Amino acid sequence: MIPELGHFALALAVALALAQSLCALLGAARADARWMASGAALAYGHTIAVGSAFAALIWSAVTDDFSVQNVVENSHSLKPLLYKITGVWGNHEGSIVLWCLMLALCGAAVAGFGRSLPSILRARVIGILGLNAAGFLLFTLLTSNPLLRVWPTPLDGRDMNPLLQDPGLAFHPPLLYAGYVGFAVPFAFAVAALIEGCVDAAWGRWVRPWALASWSLLTGGIALGSWWAYYELGWGGYWFWDPVENASLLPWLTGTALLHSAIVVEKREALKTWTVLLAIATFSLSLSGTFLVRSGILNSVHSFASDPTRGIFILVLLLAVIGGSLILFAWRAPALGSTGLFAPVSREGALVLNNIFICSIAVVVFTGTLYPLFAELVFGAKLSVGAPFFNATVLPLAAPVLLAMVVGQILPWKRAALGPALLRLWWAALIAAAVGLSVALGLRALLPALGFAGAAWLIFGSFGEIIERIRLFRIPLATSCARLKGLPLAVWAATIAHAGMGITVAGIVGMSLAREKIVAISPGEAVTLAAYDWRLDGLRDGAGSNFRERIADISVWRDGALVVRLTPARRSFTTQRMETTETSIHTTGFADLYSVLGEERDGKAILRLHYNFLAPWIWIGALIMSLGGFLSVADRRLRVGAPARRPAQSVPAA
């Protein structure tokens, strides 16, 4: 009964989403307040309907309803409860429903939080979101319906891929999807602006909080995914340039560019067409990533069962959404008016430079990810583009952005001089040089020294704007402190996000100094790695509800004192007949002690031990970036006095 209700709710959601879109768009076209209001109300209804379908799916999984096809394929009665719930979005069908739920929530959020927007713009945004949602719901219903029954009902399910049976699944996909789908809102704002033929400072201010929130969620989602790969796959790596990873990186890159160019729209009414294009591109890349991964065209770790009919449907949907918006762009964008005049050396000049480099990185990642397909079609050649290519091309493009972002942050708007700005950062340069020099002397390695110097420059230099604003040591300290309190949250947000980037860079550079050892030792023996003694105390057997495992007890000692006990394991899952390695990691804050258990031979266990210097900083930095983004959103909602679009109407930021 429950699955049928869910099925019905899903079908109802298609109708509600279509109605939401029609009411809102027609209402906006006819400036009819009642129609527009019903569009907003329908957005709530549509969200409740998708939410019910999703709840029905979770109910079926939790109650082990093996008459539901999707539950049979992805669950098992012995699977722990947490994974019965998270397993709902650990497969194609369920994750598409989650995707639809997020999209519905976006529409509801605009309806709820966007009350201060001009009603016509708000209605258009809600309408465009509804139209998108209708397309995706139809896709779910027609090609990927998770609520279909199966007959005869099997006794038990086939269980889920053991790699997914991890708490990481609870957070990583929902955050990532929230980020992907969140960019639908800036996209809808861009399309609405094209329909209206008007992009101004107010538009820039309205679109930014949505872009910021999505960006923060996406940053968190990518970071969690990378951390998950790091501890679950047990290879010791954290980023593999896999097509799926690239598909998440692309919207992140263009989304980052979008955040920055929207500032220029807000402050200087420049880069309007470019910002609109970025908003369209970011959501388009979110969608194309889904298409490429789910159609099975690209060869990826995240293997969803490939299904050509599904692929065709997504392709058509994709072409309709992106094509529609680009036709509108080609038609209306030339009328958006010319951009303001500005000097190359200025805050806006620096932001343009940021956009050029970040978008170049996006172009390279895009080209590299799709080049095997291009070579196949054009030359009939089979080739691979992997990590060595991306490392060699992306790092040289990223380095200038990272170095320049510190300077850009303290440049004034309109017209600036580079020399004085650089001079005002002498202290940050000094710290960076000191860090670089000590690393160079300590390690006798050039590249890590340069890397750490860059990271220090980024972390400390990010505070340059705050120090400039409070005129530290140039006016009495008390006055500086008073100014500090008065600083807008957005300044703190930018500083924190940029410093977070610096911490991530430090982590990445630190990881290049990681050391590891592969040893075969008997219980009682010990090895030394990075000033730690790792002793294998013993091996034992264990079991979970749906797996058996072999556990190694390792004690790690430093200078005769026990640091931690690690318990890496090898699990074999009975239903899926698959083995996984469970790493055991201890974080000291400055490094990870990382251990993996391999095979056993002649009474000896093969252990792989890593000393991953600064590894935790990679994800801590990313979470700080994400936090910075949210802080900025908070600022915008509180701040009053956003530029009004029409004199009669005062419009606080959404």
Partner 1 sequence: MNPISRRLMFLGPLGLLAVGGGAGALLLHRMADGSFDPRGVPSVLIDKPAPKFSLAPQAGHPGFDGAALVTAGTPVLINFFASWCLPCIAEAPQLLALQKRGLQIWGVAYKDREESTARFLAQHGNPFSRIARDAEGNAALEFGVYGVPETYLIDKTGIVRWRWVGALSDNVIARALDPLLAKYA
Partner 2 sequence: MIRLLVLWLTLTASAFAVSNPAELLPDPAQEYRARALGQRLRCLVCQNNSVEESEADFARDLRRVIRERVKAGEDDAQVITWMTARYGDFVRLSPAFSAQTVLLWASPFLALLAGGAAVVLARRRQMPPPVPLTDVEREAVRKLSGS
CB of 292 to partner 1, least distance (A): 8
CB of 297 to partner 2, least distance (A): 14
- Contact with partner 1 (CB under 8 A): which of 31, 81, 312, 430? 312
Structure tokens at 176: 């990532």
How far, in Å, CA of 270 to CA of 521, rounded? 65
Residues of span 223-282 touching partner 1 by CB under 8 A: 273, 277, 280-281
Residues of span 436-465 touching partner 2 by CB under 8 A: 446-447, 451
- Residue 413 near partner 2 by CB under 8 A: no
- Contact with partner 2 (CB under 8 A): which of 121, 131, 509, 609? 509
**H-assigned helices in 305-463:** 308-332, 347-378, 387-410, 418-423, 426-443, 446-461
End-to-end CA distance of the chain: 41
Chain centre distance of CA 276: 21
Of the pair 334, 603, the CB lying nearest partner 1 is at 334
CB of 324 to partner 1, least distance (A): 10
CB 164 within 8 A of CB 89: no
- Residue 240 near partner 2 by CB under 8 A: yes
Structure tokens at 508: 């990445």
- Contact with partner 2 (CB under 8 A): which of 7, 84, 608, 645? 608
- Contact with partner 2 (CB under 8 A): which of 385, 552, 642, 651? 385
- Residue 329 near partner 1 by CB under 8 A: yes
Of the pair 126, 322, the CB lying nearest partner 1 is at 322
- Nearest 10 degrees: CA dihedral of 645, 646, 648, 651? -10
539 binds, among partner 1, partner 2, none (CB under 5 to 8 A by kind): none
How far, in Å, CA of 653 to CA of 640, rounded? 7
Of the pair 298, 466, the CB lying nearest partner 2 is at 298
63 binds, among partner 1, partner 2, none (CB under 5 to 8 A by kind): none
Q: State the maximum Cα–Cα separation within the chain, in Å, rounded to a whole number.
A: 84
427 binds, among partner 1, partner 2, none (CB under 5 to 8 A by kind): none
Nearby residues of 26 by Cβ (< 8 Å), 6 or more positions away: 32, 35
377 binds, among partner 1, partner 2, none (CB under 5 to 8 A by kind): partner 1
For residues 74-84, one letter each, b for 16 or more C-beta atoms within 10 angstroms of the residue's C-beta and e for the rest, the string is bbbeebeeebb
Nearby residues of 53 by Cβ (< 8 Å), 6 or more positions away: 6, 7, 9, 10, 13, 97, 147
514 binds, among partner 1, partner 2, none (CB under 5 to 8 A by kind): partner 2
Query: Sign of dihedral through CA atoms 451, 452, 456, 459?
Result: positive
- Residue 297 near partner 1 by CB under 8 A: yes
Which value, in Å, is the radius of gyration of the alpha carbons in the chain? 27
- Residue 57 near partner 1 by CB under 8 A: no
How far, in Å, CA of 372 to CA of 377, rounded? 9
DSSP 3-state of 446: helix
How far, in Å, CA of 336 to CA of 271, rounded? 10
- Residue 301 near partner 1 by CB under 8 A: no
- Contact with partner 2 (CB under 8 A): which of 150, 318, 328, 375? 375
Residues of span 379-408 touching partner 1 by CB under 8 A: 382
Of the pair 417, 447, the CB lying nearest partner 2 is at 447
398 binds, among partner 1, partner 2, none (CB under 5 to 8 A by kind): none
- Contact with partner 2 (CB under 8 A): which of 319, 482, 518, 638? 518
CA distances from 414 to 243, 343, 651 (A): 40, 6, 25
- Residue 373 near partner 2 by CB under 8 A: no
- Residue 330 near partner 2 by CB under 8 A: no
CB 20 within 8 A of CB 39: yes
How far, in Å, CA of 543 to CA of 445, rounded? 46
- Residue 153 near partner 2 by CB under 8 A: no
Beta bridge partners of 594: 585, 610
Chain centre distance of CA 213: 11
CA distances from 272 to 25, 192, 250, 447 (A): 23, 14, 21, 40
- Residue 367 near partner 1 by CB under 8 A: no
Of the pair 38, 273, the CB lying nearest partner 2 is at 273
Say how many residues touch partner 1, by CB under 8 A.
32
386 binds, among partner 2, partner 1, none (CB under 5 to 8 A by kind): partner 2
How far, in Å, CA of 13 to CA of 17, rounded? 6
Residues of span 447-476 touching partner 1 by CB under 8 A: none
Sole window of 289-297, 356-364, 402-410, 412-420 interacting with partner 2 (rule: CB under 8 A):
356-364
519 binds, among partner 2, partner 1, none (CB under 5 to 8 A by kind): partner 2
Enumerate long-range contacts of 328-335, CB under 8 Å, 24 or more apart: 328/191, 328/194, 328/195, 329/194, 329/276, 329/277, 329/280, 331/194, 332/194, 332/195, 332/197, 333/194, 333/273, 333/276, 333/277, 335/197
Beta bridge partners of 526: 535
- Residue 434 near partner 2 by CB under 8 A: no
Of the pair 374, 427, the CB lying nearest partner 1 is at 374
Of the pair 136, 313, the CB lying nearest partner 1 is at 313
Of the pair 348, 635, the CB lying nearest partner 2 is at 348
Residues at the site binding partner 2, with contacts judged by CB under 8 A: 234-240, 242, 299-301, 338-341, 352, 355-357, 359-360, 363-364, 367-368, 371, 374-375, 379, 381-389, 391-393, 395-397, 446-447, 451, 508-509, 511-512, 514, 516, 518-520, 581, 596-599, 601, 606, 608
Residues at the site binding partner 1, with contacts judged by CB under 8 A: 273, 277, 280-281, 284, 288, 291, 295-299, 306, 308, 311-312, 315, 318-319, 322-323, 326-327, 329-330, 333-334, 373-374, 376-377, 382
